[in-house]
């Protein structure tokens, strides 16, 4: 307790700005410095709301003493004339790692590290290290600081960029400052991310794992807070609890991750500030309701090198559209009233930052909004708005001086940065501006030189003349050839050196002219060396002035939003301009596969209305108003295909393989709506998929059941109130049999061990729930009296308990009969039923036992021979199981097969002679039943969801093609439009590529195209995309 108390005093001390001088011993007499500065005659951008066209700033003791048109100059102040200059308040960087060490990875070893290797009383997982404090590691790094200064940032929040709970940031000033002066606020925001960073522990290995780990850590922290006396000291949880009370900045890599992070925040009533990825415009509707600001980067993607058409044709439209629209992200967010701060993070070169800064303006964001996003918004996020963000009196004297207004001119040069009242020269300025046109007089001849470029780096062009004598003519004809040569010019204080090479009537070689420039008369006078080595006197008289104004106009920022493309839903090939609406459709004259007692109806009609099936049959019906009628003569209509086992549309890892039991993770947390396979499967008639966790561990993660609503957000795709499911797995994958020679550490490595994992989990869950039940049985008063506190929340055991309590259904990856039998016995002894065995390739060997237990089977039509445990798999499996009364489905587990499940179902007709109607039910009604969704899905029945497919032919026939797919009465796939779609994609690609090509030609920095490989998860995919 004592430690905490004294720590908190320290915090209070550190959180106040350190301006006064603490007594420190000095070597010699105290350092001399001016008491105050007055910067006069400048354009002062005080803040987003206020610009002083011509005024002064008074700086004293590191702060702004006064600012205004007319201010009193303090005695003894150094007065600096800033005529023509613009003063801009320091930008504030809310996300950086300035001055702190770069995290280093430990050496890779092939053996898995299951437990934490850290010594000390820290959290069990190495990716959670909130105890790390940037302020304890900060060291002035002049090089990195200068980089930020060049971009106008003199105040930055810094942190060690590593791990999921990364620790506490510090707010520092950048400039000619010492370590101690630099830290403005030792206790800055804390930082979070989904990235595991340098931690080598096996868990988490997926994004859903990171999500679960962070949630569990927060639950742990809160529990720890309430039970400190009972629990051993934990440094990490102490720190985390402290941080949960303050600002938390969450770094994400994608718009969807932003929404995922926000969801965690809502669970704990925490307002994470999201540091986004720059593609928020692609999900703008989801951000509209946010009340807190975002932080966004503006390191917009560079154009691709599209000079090679072979390469250009391979660039996906999604990349092209993102490139085109990214610079409009700030404007589009603003347009939708979404608050944001801008970060410079990601820029390796300051010049790129300024380019992007101007692109933001050109794409429509106002200068006031841009300035606010760089100053007052981050100041408020970092809770330093009292001290920084504007040039108002009393705030820190941190600002940049530009030669002209950078919000108006793209060629504005950042000359000086003043940090806490100390000047730091960023771009050394020429004392003289020699630009203009001059006549250079030399003893033998004279030249005209035109000097342009910038004042610090002028460039010259010299006109020389050479006589040409044509002796073939009589008399010989003389012509004069004019040659323009470029001159190299160096300016040093008031001296200039001009070199140029001539070959004319007078000289042949290099002339070097050294001269002193007099700004009063705009003339040079000096000594020059001729090609033959002679030294001569020379002079340069100005003929005309440099047309500064004219030059400036070329660099003026012009807003142009006309050429901007549209955001599609999703923003890629086959995306919609706007989302389709649910309409009333009358589909007539079709063969209807009802899956109901009516069986197959010829020449029937289906009416879709308000997202539901309104009518099915041949009888009388009235055609609703505004109905769209489609004549389906010769066509077949079915309910949409349901894939019980799919791994499409998942971000960053289908397996959380870090532990044997990971019931806490959920695929629903990582649904990805821009997977092209969603669209491809719609084109195969699939309307609903269960996105399952992989099979890397005996108890895997929770499922997501989605409708393939192409164009919608992940949350909109999830079926509301869908029954809860979880993946279990058996056999080679959970034993890590095919993971290589080093993966022999994790329990279980045999089928024997798998049984024990299950028993252990269920028994632990039982004990866990008992504690909670006992607690919940007490009234709050009783609990208080008896001093009984709420038990710890264990996300893993919560889910395991739901299984045991039949609130969550199992879909269990399984092949071999022995282990299938084992799991059913475990379930029997625990009093629940295994809902579905998926794959279940040896189901035919114990179909009778499955039927008796009540388990369904979701299998492959004909897969086998890919691993040892499937050597007895037979394509007659579905038939044999069905004959024994098992509810059977056919699933894909594969993005490719998922788009032709009708063919897979048809194989059961071949292998074992199943009836066609029964075969069809295996990919529609039966999976709907297995998923407990048959009340609303799986057949053509009035009142069920209007998830409908129109087929060109008998749907089990090899000739069947999907013509149209509807979900909730919305036409989401239409094969007739696919040609138009394709042409539209080609047109859009050509449009953007030509834009890119013009950037290539203009010499803009470009990047090489890297072809993205699509991610195809299968259940044995052990992948992670965490660092």
Partner 1 sequence: MHRLKIFTFLTVSFLLVSNGIAQQKILLSKAKIHVGNGKVINQGLVGIDGEEIVLVENALTFTYDKTAWDTIIDLKGQELYPGFIAPNSTLGLTEVDAVRATRDFNEVGVFNPHVRSQIAFNAESEINTTVKTNGVLYTQTTPQGGIISGTSSLMKLEAWNWEDATLKKDDGIHLNWPSTTKGGGWWAEPAPKKINDKYTEDVIKIRNFFEAALAYSESDDLYDARFEAMRAVFTGTKRVYFHANELRALTDIIDFKREFSIQYPVIIGGYEAYKIADQLIDAEIPIIIKGGHTLPTNEDDPVDLPYRLPALLQEAGILFCIQNSGRMETMNTRNIPFLAGTAMAYGLSEEQAISAVSLNTAKIMGVDQIAGSIEVGKKATLFASKGSALDMRTNELTLGMIHGKFIQLTNLQTKLYEKYKEKYKSK
> Segment 677-736, which members bind partner 1 (CB under 8 A)?
677, 679-680, 683, 732
Minimum Å gap between C-beta 228 and partner 1 is: 41
How far apart CA 656 and CA 664 sit, in angstroms, is: 10
Q: Which residue has the tokens 């028994």?
A: 763
Residues between 824 and 863 with contacts to partner 1, criterion CB under 8 A: 844-845, 847-848, 862-863
Tell me how far, at minimum, the Cβ of 1026 lies from partner 1, in Å: 10
Among 154, 298, 332, 1022, binds partner 1 (CB under 8 A): 1022
Binders of partner 1 in range 942-1001 (CB under 8 A): 956-961, 975, 978, 982, 985, 989
Judged by beta carbon, residue 5 or residue 310, the one nearer partner 1 is 310
Q: Least distance in Å: CB of 1025 to partner 1?
A: 6
Residues 858-917 that bind partner 1 (CB under 8 A): 862-868, 871-872, 874-876, 880, 883-884, 895-897, 899-900, 903, 906-907, 909-913, 916
Name which of 315 and 699 has its Cβ closer to partner 1: 315
Q: How far is the CB of 997 from partner 1 (least distance, A)?
A: 18
Touching partner 1, residues 738-757 (CB under 8 A): 738
Whether cis (ω within 30° of 0) applies to the bond prior to 663 is no
Q: What is the distance between the alpha carbons of residues 680 and 981, in angstroms, rounded to a whole number?
A: 13
CB 613 within 8 A of CB 969: no
Q: What residue has token string 């629940």?
A: 832
From 119, 152, 593, select the one nearest 344 (Cα to Cα). Answer: 152
Q: Closest separation between CB of residue 684 and partner 1, Å? A: 8
Q: Give the shortest CB-132-to-partner 1 separation in angstroms.
A: 28
- Gap between the Cα atoms of 433 and 933, Å rounded: 79
CA-wise closest residue to 429 among 521, 492, 489: 492
CA distance 9 to 405: 44
What stretches of 778-900 show up as alpha helix (H) in DSSP?
A: 780-785, 795-804, 817-830, 847-853, 877-883
**What whole-number distance in Å separates Cα of residue 666 and Cα of residue 647?**
13
Binding flags for partner 1, 776-815, as an x/- string (CB under 8 A): ----------------------------------------
Task: Tell me whether residue 371 or residue 888 sits nearer to partner 1 (CB atom).
Answer: 888
Query: Tokens representing 508?
Result: 């042949």
Q: Contact 709/611 with Cβ under 8 angstroms?
A: no
Residues 554-583 that bind partner 1 (CB under 8 A): 572-574
Please identify, using beta-carbon distances, which residue of 149 and 638 lies nearer to partner 1.
638
CA distance 974 to 220: 50
**Measured in Å, how far apart are the chain's first and last C-alpha atoms?**
37
Report the candidate in 48, 151, 84 with the shortest Cα–Cα distance to residue 414.
151
Stretch that binds partner 1, among 2-10, 291-299, 460-468, 1013-1021 (CB under 8 A): 1013-1021
Least distance from partner 1 to the Cβ atom of residue 874, Å: 4
Show the binding pattern over residues 915-944: x = contacts partner 1 (CB under 8 A), - = does not.
Answer: -x----------------------------
Q: Which x/- pattern over 72-101 shows residues binding partner 1 (rule: CB under 8 A)?
A: ------------------------------
Q: How far apart are CA 814 and CA 857, in angstroms?
A: 10
Q: Give dist(CA 255, CA 283) in Å, integer.
A: 7
HEC readout, 165-177: EEEECEEEECCCC
* Cβ atoms of residues 767 and 757 within 8 Å: no
Is residue 898 within 8 A of residue 689, CB to CB? The reply is yes
Residue 1008 found at the interface with partner 1 (CB under 8 A) = yes
Residues 289-328 within binding reach of partner 1 (CB under 8 A) = 310-311, 313-314, 316-318
- Cβ 862 to partner 1, closest distance in Å? 7
Give the H/E segment covering residue 238: helix 235-244
Q: From CA 392, how far away is CA 788, in angstroms rounded?
A: 54
Smallest distance from partner 1 to CB 32, Å: 57
Per CB under 8 A, which of residues 643..682 are in contact with partner 1? 676-677, 679-680
Q: Which letter does DSSP use for residue 133 in this model?
A: B
Residue 1023 C-beta: closest distance to partner 1, Å: 3
Q: How far is the CB of 815 from partner 1 (least distance, A)?
A: 12
- The CA-CA-CA angle for residues 742, 746, 747, to 5°, reads 135
Q: How far is the CB of 694 from partner 1 (least distance, A)?
A: 10
Of residues 798 and 916, the one with the C-beta less far from partner 1: 916
* Nearer CB in complex with partner 1: 583/961: 961
Report the nearest approach of partner 1 to the CB of residue 736 (Å): 12
Nearer to partner 1, 149 or 205 (CB): 205
Residue 978 CB: number of other CB atoms within 10 A?
12
Based on CB atoms, which residue is closest to partner 1, 835 or 879? 879
Least separation in angstroms between residue 410's CB and partner 1 is 32
Residue whose CB is less far from partner 1, 623 or 983:
983
Comparing CB distances to partner 1, the nearer of 377 and 680 is: 680
# of chain residues touching partner 1 (CB under 8 A): 76
- What angle in degrees, to the nearest 10, is found between the helix axes of 235-244 and 207-226? 90
CB-based contact 342:48 (threshold 8 Å): no
Closest CB to partner 1 among residues 535, 866: 866
Task: Residue 840: name the closest of 849, 832, 831 by CA.
Answer: 849
Helices 751-777 and 817-830, axial angle in degrees (round to 10): 20
Pick 174 or 960: Cβ nearer partner 1: 960
Give the residue with the Cβ less far from partner 1, 611 or 1023.
Answer: 1023
Q: Which of residues 344-383 bind partner 1 (CB under 8 A)?
A: none
């Amino acid at each position: 307790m004592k430690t905490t108390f004294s720590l908190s005093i320290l915090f209070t001390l550190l959180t106040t700005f350190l301006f006064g001088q603490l007594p420190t011993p000095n070597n010699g007499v105290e350092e001399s410095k001016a008491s105050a500065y007055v910067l006069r005659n400048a354009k002062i951008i005080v803040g987003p709301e206020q610009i002083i066209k011509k005024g002064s700033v008074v700086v004293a003791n590191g702060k702004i003493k006064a600012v205004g048109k007319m201010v009193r100059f303090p005695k003894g102040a150094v007065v600096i004339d800033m005529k023509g200059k613009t003063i801009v308040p320091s930008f504030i960087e809310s996300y950086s790692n300035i001055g702190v060490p770069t995290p280093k990875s430990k050496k890779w070893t092939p053996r898995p590290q299951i437990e934490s290797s850290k010594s000390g009383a820290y959290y069990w997982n190495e990716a959670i290290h909130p105890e790390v404090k940037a302020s304890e590691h900060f060291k002035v790094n002049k090089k990195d600081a200068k980089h930020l200064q060049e971009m106008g940032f003199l105040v930055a929040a810094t942190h060690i960029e590593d791990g999921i709970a990364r620790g506490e940031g510090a707010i520092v000033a950048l400039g000619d400052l010492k370590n101690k002066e630099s830290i403005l606020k030792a206790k800055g925001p804390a930082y979070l991310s989904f990235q595991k960073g340098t931690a080598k522990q096996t868990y988490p290995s997926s994004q859903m794992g990171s999500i679960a780990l962070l949630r569990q850590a927060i639950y742990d922290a809160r529990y720890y807070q309430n039970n400190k006396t009972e629990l051993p000291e934990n440094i990490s949880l102490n720190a985390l609890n402290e941080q949960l009370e303050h600002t938390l900045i969450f770094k994400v890599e994608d718009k969807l991750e932003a929404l995922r992070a926000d969801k965690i925040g809502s669970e704990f009533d925490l307002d994470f500030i999201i540091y986004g990825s720059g593609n928020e415009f692609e999900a703008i509707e989801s951000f509209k309701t946010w009340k807190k600001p975002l932080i966004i980067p503006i390191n917009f993607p560079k154009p691709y090198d599209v000079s090679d058409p072979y390469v250009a044709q391979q660039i996906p439209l999604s990349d092209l559209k993102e490139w085109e629209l990214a610079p409009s992200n700030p404007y589009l967010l603003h347009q939708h009233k979404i608050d944001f701060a801008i970060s410079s993070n990601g820029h390796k070169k300051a010049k790129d930052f300024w380019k992007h800064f101007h692109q933001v303006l050109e794409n429509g964001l106002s200068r006031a909004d841009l300035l606010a996003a760089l100053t007052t918004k981050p100041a408020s996020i970092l809770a330093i708005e009292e001290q920084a963000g504007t040039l108002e009196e009393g705030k820190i004297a941190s600002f940049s001086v530009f030669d002209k207004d950078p919000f108006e001119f793209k060629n504005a040069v950042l000359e000086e940065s003043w940090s806490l009242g100390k000047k730091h020269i960023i771009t050394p300025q020429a004392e003289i501006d020699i630009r203009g046109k001059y006549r250079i007089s030399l003893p033998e001849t004279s030249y005209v030189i035109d000097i342009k470029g910038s004042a610090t780096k002028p460039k010259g062009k010299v006109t020389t003349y050479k006589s040409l004598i044509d002796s073939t003519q009589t008399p010989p004809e003389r012509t004069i050839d004019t040659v323009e040569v470029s001159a190299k010019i160096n300016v040093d204080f008031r001296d200039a050196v001009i070199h140029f090479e001539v070959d004319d009537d007078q000289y042949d070689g290099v002339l070097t002219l050294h001269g002193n420039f007099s700004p009063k008369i705009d003339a040079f006078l000096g000594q020059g060396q001729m090609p033959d080595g002679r030294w001569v006197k020379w002079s340069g008289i100005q003929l005309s002035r440099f047309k500064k104004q004219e030059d400036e106009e070329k660099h003026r920022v012009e807003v142009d939003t006309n050429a901007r493309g549209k955001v599609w839903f999703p923003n890629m090939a086959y995306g919609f301009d706007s989302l389709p609406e649910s309409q009333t459709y009358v589909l007539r004259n079709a063969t209807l596969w009802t899956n109901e007692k009516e069986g197959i109806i010829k020449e029937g009609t289906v009416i879709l209305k308000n997202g539901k099936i309104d009518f099915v049959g041949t009888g009388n019906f009235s055609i609703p108003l505004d109905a769209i009628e489609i004549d389906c003569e010769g066509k077949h209509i079915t309910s949409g295909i349901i894939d019980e086992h799919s791994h499409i549309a998942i971000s960053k890892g289908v397996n959380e393989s870090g532990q044997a039991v990971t019931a806490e993770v959920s695929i629903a947390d990582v649904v990805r709506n821009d997977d092209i396979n969603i669209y491809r499967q719609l084109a195969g008639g699939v309307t609903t998929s269960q996105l399952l966790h992989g099979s890397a561990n005996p108890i895997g993660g929770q499922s997501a059941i989605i409708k393939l609503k192409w164009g919608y957000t992940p949350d909109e795709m999830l079926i509301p109130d869908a029954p809860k499911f979880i993946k279990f797995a058996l056999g080679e994958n959970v034993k890590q049999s095919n993971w290589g020679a080093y993966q022999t550490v994790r329990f279980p490595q045999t089928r024997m061990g798998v049984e024990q994992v299950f028993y252990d989990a269920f028994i632990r869950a039982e004990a866990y729930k008992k504690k909670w039940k006992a607690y919940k049985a007490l009234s709050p008063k009783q609990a208080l009296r008896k001093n009984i506190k709420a038990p710890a929340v264990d996300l893993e055991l919560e889910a395991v308990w739901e299984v045991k309590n039949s609130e969550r259904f199992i879909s269990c990856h399984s092949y071999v009969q022995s282990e299938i039998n084992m799991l059913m016995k475990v379930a029997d002894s625990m009093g629940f039923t295994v809902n579905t065995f998926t794959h279940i390739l040896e189901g035919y060997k114990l179909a009778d036992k499955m039927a008796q237990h009540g388990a369904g089977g979701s299998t492959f039509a004909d897969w086998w021979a890919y691993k040892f445990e499937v050597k007895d798999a037979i394509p007659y499996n579905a038939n044999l199981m069905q004959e024994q009364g098992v509810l059977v489905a056919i699933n894909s587990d594969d993005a490719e097969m998922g788009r032709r499940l009708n063919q897979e179902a048809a194989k059961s007709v071949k292998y074992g002679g199943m009836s066609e109607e029964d075969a069809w039910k295996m990919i529609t009604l039966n999976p709907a039943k297995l998923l407990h969704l048959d009340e609303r899905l799986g057949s053509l029945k009035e009142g069920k969801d209007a998830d409908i497919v129109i087929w060109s032919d008998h749907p089990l026939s090899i000739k069947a093609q999907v013509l149209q797919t509807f979900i909730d009465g919305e036409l989401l796939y239409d094969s007739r439009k696919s040609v138009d779609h394709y042409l539209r994609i080609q047109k859009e690609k050509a449009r953007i590529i030509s834009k890119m090509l013009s950037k290539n030609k203009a010499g803009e920095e470009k990047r090489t195209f890297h072809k993205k490989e699509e991610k195809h998860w299968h259940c044995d995919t052990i992948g992670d995309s965490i660092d």
